[in-house]
Amino acid sequence: MTPDSRRYLPPEALARIGHLELRARAVVEGVLAGLHKSPYRGQSVEFLQHREYVRGDDLRRVDWKVWARQDRLYVKEFEEETNLRLTLVVDCSASMDYRGLGAALSKYECASTVAASLAWLALSHGDAVGCAAFDDRVRAAVPARTSRSHLASVVGVLAAPRGRGDHPAEATSLLPVLRSLAESLPRRGLVIIVSDLLGDRDGLVPGLRRLRARDHDVALLHVLDDDELDFPFDGPTRFEGLEALDEIACNPRAFRDGYLEALGEYLSRTRQQAAALDCDYELIRTREPVGAALVRFLARRASLVA
């Protein structure tokens, strides 16, 4: 394991994930190793359909009887339960840099730990894992691979420099990123989006709809700092924007109730929008242990497919 791997996979997170595998093997295998019916196709006893041969197809799957009748090459497709194809889509926009007072991790560090832990778990079960980090566009990505050594490549994407040089971290722009992913992913699988969903919120629903239209299973892990959720500020405070130059100095007690009410409505609406598109939704606090968040997320998914 590389030093970067240890950075984003702290011992306590690995220990908790290891305990998950021992205590809830059915959860792990059911969600990240293909318990539910797989969308992939391969050799099995259950014939699915014919499709026209394309260069590179396995000649052993050519239906020679059809070729004899039609003088055209077709291959047989079969349906089987197979391993998962997981794509992790991690928000690396400027707003993800927020770290509350006394917090061990920023939102991006929390999101990266969540993504790296899921990658570690999936690769340990032979699943294919790809990863992309984005703000207003995809900044770094690796295609899905099944080798356990691929974890280093995933962590490399998560650990890539952000907000420096010629490519400063920008605001979140979900629609073009999710649209591009929907068009570029070669086949159906599980897409997990890890983001604070701040910025271009209007792009969330059409972006998710694009992925669902391509038959991807989609999960949304909503990462927010405890400060954003609880608004604990007291006394004169100056708030500075991370994705804009705006700032405001105020007494937060004057609008705490209004802020929390608006936040509650926003979270409720986001959950409803995800549910309407049959996408999983999970809210993760930055100060929550990563292992606990993943246990809850995976256990709930497993209960839905059991």
142's tokens: 């690796």
Q: What is the pLDDT of residue 166?
A: 43
Task: Tell me which range, 71-85, 267-281, 286-300, is most confidently predicted by mean pLDDT.
Answer: 267-281
Residue 21 pLDDT grade (very low, low, confident, very high; cuts 50, 70, 90): very low
Residues 117 and 142 in one domain: yes
**What is the per-residue pLDDT across 86-119, written as a single tens digit (0 to 9) for each?**
999 999 998 899 898 888 889 998 898 888 888 8
Domain that holds residue 65: 47-78
Residues 254 and 299 grouped into a single domain: yes
pLDDT of residue 218: 95
Tell me the per-residue pLDDT of 165-189, one tens digit each, with 9 for 90 and over.
444 445 667 899 999 999 998 878 9
Q: Alpha-carbon torsion 272, 276, 282, 286, what sign?
A: negative
Confidence at residue 81, expressed as pLDDT on a 0 to 100 scale: 44
Distances (CA, A) of 180 to 174, 213, 215, 233, 267: 10, 13, 15, 39, 26
CB 183 within 8 A of CB 145: no
Residues 73 and 87 in one domain: no
Predicted pLDDT at 48: 56
In the predicted model, what is the mean pLDDT of residues 115-128? 84
Q: Average pLDDT of 218-223?
A: 96
Q: Any idea what the Cα angle at residue 133 is, between residues 130 and 136, rounded to 5°? A: 135
Predicted TM-score (pTM) above 0.85: no
Give the model's confidence band at 34: pLDDT under 50 very low, under 70 low, under 90 confident, else very high.
very low
Q: What is the CATH number of the domain that holds 277?
A: 3.40.50.410
Same domain, 130 and 271: yes
Taking alpha carbons only, the member of 305, 302, 295, 300 closest to residue 23 is 295
For 129-164, write each residue's pLDDT tens digit. Answer: 999 999 888 999 999 999 888 888 888 888 876 654
What's the pLDDT at 6? 55
Nearest residue to 1 (alpha-carbon basis) of 118, 120, 114? 120
Lookup result for tokens 């606090």: 285
Pairing of strands 74-78, 47-52: antiparallel
Inside any domain, residue 60: yes
pLDDT value at residue 273? 96
Q: What is the distance between the alpha carbons of residues 258 and 283, in angstroms, rounded to a whole number?
A: 21
| Higher-confidence position of 61 and 214 | 214
Do residue 68 and residue 122 come from a single domain?
Answer: no
Give the pLDDT of residue 13.
55
- Residue 177 tokens read as 């990123």
Asked whether residue 253 is assigned to any structural domain, the reply reads: yes
Return the number of other C-beta atoms located less than 10 Å from residue 49's C-beta: 11
Domain assignment present for 42: no
Identify the residue with better confidence: 109 or 8.
109
Write down the H helix ranges in the chain: 3-8, 11-23, 25-32, 64-70, 107-124, 151-158, 174-184, 204-213, 226-230, 256-276, 290-305
On the question of pLDDT at 36 being above 60, the answer is no
Neighbour tally for 159: CB within 10 Å: 19
Whether 278 maps to a domain, the answer reads: yes
Q: Pick the range with the lowest mean pLDDT from 11-15, 129-133, 214-218.
A: 11-15
Looking at residue 219, what is its pLDDT? 95
Q: Are residues 71 and 106 in the same domain?
A: no
Q: Is the residue at 53 inside a domain?
A: yes
For residue 196, the SS3 value is coil
CA nearest to 88, candidates 186, 154, 172, 3: 154
pLDDT at 19 over 60: no
Task: Round the average pLDDT of the chain to a whole number and report it.
Answer: 77
User: Is pLDDT of 267 > 80?
Assistant: yes
275-295 CB burial, b ≥16 within 10 A, e <16: eebebbbbebbbeeebbebbb
Examine the domain organization and report whether 158 and 60 are in the same domain.
Answer: no
The stretch 31-39 carries a mean pLDDT of 40
44-99: per-residue pLDDT in tens? 345 556 778 777 667 777 887 777 788 788 777 654 445 689 999 999 998 899 89
Reported confidence tier of residue 259, pLDDT bands at 50, 70, 90:
confident
Count of domains for the chain: 2
Cβ neighbours of residue 283 under 8 Å, at least 6 residues apart?
Answer: 222, 224, 267
Same structural domain, 153 and 258 = yes
Predicted pLDDT at 73: 82
